[in-house]
Amino acid sequence: MYHAYYKTDRGYHPRSVNSNGGWTVTNSLSFMNMPLLTYVAEIAPRPMLVIAGSEAHSRYLTEDAYAAAAEPKEIMIIDGADHVDLYDQLDVIPFNRMADFFGEHLSV
């Protein structure tokens, strides 16, 4: 999944950690003691739209964030999509629902 994006012309960049094996043993240590969802409820009363692919390795985190968040909230699981498909696969990104959601919940 990541290889199909970061290691090909699709998403490769010479300075990208993901494209060049730049991750080290210690890169992610700062996240080990960070309770990522501790403050998700503080997003409220902000509207939250979370989107994940049904095949995404990170889908569980999307579902956990959704469960922990306060209303108003919406979750979309895109059938057949993986994590990186939602970066650049224009045929699977739910642009219409995103526009509708923001139109409903954001004011200028």
Closest by CA to 45, choosing from 69, 75, 76, 74, is 69
d(CA 83, CA 95) in angstroms, rounded, equals 16
Beta bridge partners of 52: 77
Closest by CA to 61, choosing from 74, 49, 50, is 50
Closest by CA to 98, choosing from 78, 83, 70, is 78
CA dihedral 46, 92, 88, 51 (to 10 degrees): 30
pLDDT tens readout for residues 40-94: 877 767 889 999 999 998 899 899 989 988 888 999 999 999 989 999 999 999 9
C-beta of residue 46 within 8 angstroms of C-beta of residue 40? no
Q: Go through the domains of the chain in sequence order and give each one's CATH number.
A: 1-34 (1.10.10.800), 35-108 (no CATH)
- The residue among 100 and 6 whose pLDDT is bigger is 100
pTM for the full predicted model: 0.76
d(CA 68, CA 66) in angstroms, rounded, equals 5
- Span of 7-11, 23-27, 36-40 with lowest mean pLDDT: 23-27
d(CA 35, CA 41) in angstroms, rounded, equals 13
